[in-house]
Amino acid sequence: MRVDVLGVAFDDVTLDEAVDRALSLLEEDGPHLVATPNPEIVQRAAQDPEFARILAGASLVLPDGVGVIYAAKILGRPLRARVPGIDFASALLDQVAGTGKRLFLLGAAPGIAQQAAIRLQTSHPGLAVCGTHDGYFKEDGPVADAIREARADIVFVCLGAPKQEKWIAANAAATGARLLVGLGGSLDVFAGKVERAPESFQRLGLEWLYRLAKQPSRIGRMAKLPLFLTSAAGARLKGK
């Protein structure tokens, strides 16, 4: 079931269900896009019809962030669980490690994807990383070719939103991969460059607060959250 939150239709799934769905998609002809929108991305989609169309066509749209959960609740159509992109990615890799499925990492500054590959292979023994590429390239074609030549099944595309979803929409077919997941800054976390909040913060849905304390410059981005929740309340009152 999909739940509309201010124009973006989210899959009402738990983390385990999301991983099961992704594993099924890996067995079907692709390509399939998995998106993990947070409130900022939903607001972005409201201003960018092309981006909204791409999200509407995604195979799996996961609620990344407690703000989406609050908005769904305010709208009177609650989502069962928050499924952060990075948790989804880790849980998926737990399942595919040792199966022969091949992962390609695309994005972030030069060197980061390789570092992430090494760390992911340690944390997920048996994981087959078939290639990496940084996220600062000029032409799409050679990157899509590199993914095809690496015979990737899964690609983590980490260019930030909406760039990564637009890149996937334009290039997924050329890569030959079945599952392409837009994961924002996750490679920086997997590489150990950016720390995730302690588990206690994650459990309470306060990861955003921890990130804000570490990176006060994010305040501008986060200030949009109250506006997002107000829009949800407004939509509810209008009976949308």
| Nearest distance in Å: CB 2, ligand UDP | 22
- 3-class DSSP state for residue 144? helix
| Nearest distance in Å: CB 104, ligand UDP | 14
Residue in this structure with the two tokens 């150990």, named with its chain if needed: 192
Measured from the CB atom, the residue of 112 and 235 that comes closer to ligand UDP is 112
Q: At 54, list the tokens.
A: 């791409």
CA 64 to chain centre: 7
Say whether residue 63 binds ligand UDP (CB under 6 A): no
Distance CA 18, CA 9 (A): 15
| Nearest distance in Å: CB 40, ligand UDP | 7
Bridge partner list, 11: 2
Note whether 34 and 184 are within 8 A (CB).
no
Question: x/- site string to ligand UDP, residues 88 to 127, per CB under 6 A?
Answer: -------------------xxx------------------
- Cα angle for residues 99, 159, 62 (degrees, 5° grid): 60
Say whether residue 86 binds ligand UDP (CB under 6 A): no
Q: At 68, list the tokens.
A: 């989406």
| Nearest distance in Å: CB 83, ligand UDP | 14
Measured from the CB atom, the residue of 31 and 182 that comes closer to ligand UDP is 182
Identity of the residue numbered 240? K
Measured from the CB atom, the residue of 24 and 137 that comes closer to ligand UDP is 137
Note whether 130 and 103 are within 8 A (CB).
yes
- Of 2, 98, 136, 204, the residue at the interface with ligand UDP (CB under 6 A) is 136
Residue in this structure with the two tokens 């269900």, named with its chain if needed: 17
Kindly write down the DSSP assignment for every residue of 207-238, as one continuous string. HHHHHHHH-GGGHHHHTHHHHHHHHHHHHHHT
Which parts of 167-196 interact with ligand UDP (CB under 6 A)? 184-185, 187-188
Measured from the CB atom, the residue of 176 and 182 that comes closer to ligand UDP is 182
Strand ranges, E, within the chain: 2-5, 8-11, 32-35, 60-61, 102-107, 128-133, 154-158, 179-182
Say whether residue 159 binds ligand UDP (CB under 6 A): yes
- Of 12, 77, 160, 202, the residue at the interface with ligand UDP (CB under 6 A) is 160
Measured from the CB atom, the residue of 119 and 163 that comes closer to ligand UDP is 163
| Nearest distance in Å: CB 109, ligand UDP | 5
Measured from the CB atom, the residue of 67 and 184 that comes closer to ligand UDP is 184
Parallel, antiparallel, or unpaired for β 154-158 and 179-182? parallel
Q: Kindly list the residues in this chain that would bind ligand UDP in the complex (CB under 6 A).
A: 107-109, 135-136, 158-161, 163, 184-185, 187-188
